[in-house]
Amino acid sequence: MSTDDPICPLCLRPIPSHARQSLHHLTPKLKGGKHGATVRLHQICHNEIHKTFSEAELARDLNTPEALRAHPALAPFLGWIAKRPPEFHARSSGGRRKRK
């Protein structure tokens, strides 16, 4: 881990270069965010966002890292992941969120 590692804006842990990571569109591509702002996240954090929220919810109410961190549905995950090393990755439990 380097002091130059970017910080995940969801869990606020460093993202080492060897850690699984991805870019998250703050406004989902399907909701007009194809050329919009992105943030680098741990892959496990990115998976949790999409497991928990619909594209419509992300576009309408959760299009900033601050809004995502403040949402009560992510509080258990954020508390849990804070205790893991920055390079930690595990498959998310369960499948993707059920579409309505």
DSSP letters, 6-55, are: PBPTTT--B--TTS-EEEEESS-GGGTTTTS-EEEEEHHHHHHHHHHS-H
Tokens matching residue 50:
């999409």
Task: Return the H-helix or E-strand segment holding 76.
Answer: helix 75-81
Q: What is the pTM of this model?
A: 0.87
* Backbone Cα Rg of the chain: 13
Tokens matching residue 82:
């804070």
* Residue-level pLDDT at 94: 52
The tens-digit pLDDT sequence of the chain (100 residues) is: 667 899 999 999 999 999 999 999 999 998 888 999 999 999 999 999 999 999 999 999 999 999 999 999 999 999 999 999 999 998 765 555 554 4
